[in-house]
Amino acid sequence: MDTRTKTNGLTAKVITDIFLQLMSYVAQIERDNIKQRQLEGISAAKAKGVKFGRPKMAIPDEFPTVYESWKKRTISCREAARRLEVNRNTFLRWTENKENDK
């Protein structure tokens, strides 16, 4: 229905508005249903033992030595990460875990 012309009048505009509102409602219901099905699928997968996300990296054997050098401020965080061949955020996460273990 083309509401750009005045020949269709007010009735056509009202019908078009109702139609658009109805389609918006249907789309929202479908989004909600998709989200619900996704949550159910995730729950079912977890119940079967599926692990989500990246596997955790093993901490290298050199970590304690590099960590102590970093803690004494003889090397930077970036240098410590480079020596362990990981990115800076991974190194910092490992240091946080080490600090929390104390």
pLDDT for res 79: 95
Q: What is the pTM of this model?
A: 0.51
Q: Which of 50, 92, 85 is nearest to 67 (CA)?
A: 92
> Positive or negative CA dihedral for 29, 30, 32, 36?
positive
Both tokens of 66, joined, read 């590099």
Task: Give residue 5's pLDDT band: very low, low, confident or very high (50, 70, 90).
Answer: low
Q: How far apart are CA 53 and CA 87, in angstroms?
A: 18
Q: Which of 48, 82, 44 is nearest to 62 (CA)?
A: 82
Q: What is the pLDDT of residues 83-99, one digit of tens each?
A: 999 999 999 999 987 76
Q: How far is 99 from 102, CA to CA, in rounded Å?
A: 6
Domain ranges of the chain: 1-52, 63-101
